[in-house]
A and B are shown apart, each in its own frame.
Chain A
């Protein structure tokens, strides 16, 4: 049973426009949500996170929105740039003492067209 789902395997957006990546989850126990970005032949890198007690977190061109009632979060990138082309993974933490356990979605490949 997949607890974190990214239903769009790919997304294509024009440079300068807004990119919106979506993620759904099933477990209401998750208490932190994160987005990672991955380029080919590299490991994922942390992008932005949001606590379950918030509904929005912003960092420069990146904003993450959390809708707990819908168990849905989204990542907005505006304006989109060619360097944003990558695979984006949504992930969620279980509350845990000790080692952190992250559950990942399948990823969405974002392509920014010039």
Chain B
């Protein structure tokens, strides 16, 4: 299996639930990212992990908790979310060190609905 794989593709959860999003990459990249895409808004960077160390946290509420156990896997743990957290959550990976303008490889995303 190649590329960046995200599971589940769709998730509906109540505000009191706890769930996790999973991302896996088989590209040999050493940096991974979580982005949020809300309707009519730019993609918002949430977290950056480089060599399994979190290097950026863009003022994301604590109800979102990332975990990067190794360079191939990234999780986003969710608890007590709000309806406004409903969005498409995208995982991406990259080489980490700047190797030119090739950017990220994205997964297909998890469409999250909070009810």
Tally of B interface residues using CB under 8 Å: 34
Contact B42 A105 (CB under 8 A): yes
Query: In the complex, A48 Cα to B111 Cα: how many Å?
Result: 26
A111 within 8 A of B: no
Q: From A51, A91, A99, A105, name the one whose CB has the most chain B CB atoms within 10 angstroms.
A: A99
A-B contacts at CB below 8 angstroms, number: 86
Query: In the complex, A45 Cα to B106 Cα: how many Å?
Result: 7
CB neighbours (8 Å) of A34 from chain B are: 101, 103
Q: What's the least CB distance linking B98 to chain A, in Å? A: 6
Tally of A interface residues using CB under 8 Å: 32
Contact A43 B107 (CB under 8 A): yes
Contact B104 A100 (CB under 8 A): yes
Name B103's contact: one of A2, A99, A100, A106 (CB within 8 Å): A100
CB neighbours (8 Å) of A42 from chain B are: 108-109
Residues on A lying within 8 angstroms of B by beta carbon are 2, 4, 9, 32-34, 36, 41-46, 49-51, 89, 91, 93, 95-107
> What 6 A-B pairs come out closest when comparing CB atoms?
A49-B101, A43-B106, A99-B50, A99-B31, A104-B43, A32-B101
